[in-house]
Amino acid sequence: MAEHPGSGDIGRVPSRTKGRTMAGNDLGSLLGSLLGGAGGQSGGAGGILGSLLGALAGGKGAGGGGDGSNPLGGLLDMLTKSGLTDQTRSWVGTGDNQAVSGAQIAEALPDDTLQKVAAEAGVSPQEAADEIAASLPQAVDKLTPNGSLPQGASLEEIIRQQRL
């Protein structure tokens, strides 16, 4: 009988961790839906993008609140500064989306961020970069239907608005 209190103590730690993870999971689910939700691959892509944007937002969930907590603009700035200006403009603009490689994504992202995203997804950093490269153009395109980055809303609000 003395074992039950110990079990309860163990249960509390994962629930706190689970609470932090749920914000990323919720964002990942929203992004997966935005990307079409066709099978596990879109859900996986949404989860990886959710983790990435959550990490770029400083681990506060990925966009709660309207006070500059939308990490999408920061991600696009980071990619632009890494030489991917034409690609990011094509995703935000209304024309065709230019492709980006996993290697370009890996080079553009901070190594610790990519490591964290990969660990959360249970894949290698290169697999995470490849998945981001495959899904980010479509996600950005869908989040910017008017050819510009929405302002003043959290990332979750922007995603919900675009799901129609």
How many CB atoms lie under 10 A from the CB of residue 5? 9
What is the sign, positive or negative, of the torsion defined by CA atoms of 53, 59, 64, 67? negative
Residue 97, pLDDT > 90, answer yes
Per-residue HEC secondary structure of 12-76 comes to HHHHHHHHHHHHHHHHHHHHHHHCCCCHHHHHHHHHHHHHHHHHHCCCCCCCCCCCCCCCHHHHH
Q: Which two tokens stand for residue 158?
A: 């922007």
**Cα separation, 88 vs 96, whole angstroms:** 11
**Nearest residue to 54 (alpha-carbon basis) of 74, 82, 33, 36:** 74
Residue 13, pLDDT > 50, answer no
Q: What is the pLDDT of residue 108?
A: 96
Q: pTM for this one? A: 0.70
Side-chain-facing half-sphere of 105: CA atoms under 13 Å = 26
pLDDT digit string, tens, across residues 21-63: 334 456 677 777 667 654 333 346 678 888 888 888 775 433 3
Please tell me the chain's helix, strand, coil percentages from 3-state DSSP, rounded to the nearest 5. 70, 0, 30
pLDDT digit string, tens, across residues 77-96: 999 999 999 999 999 998 89
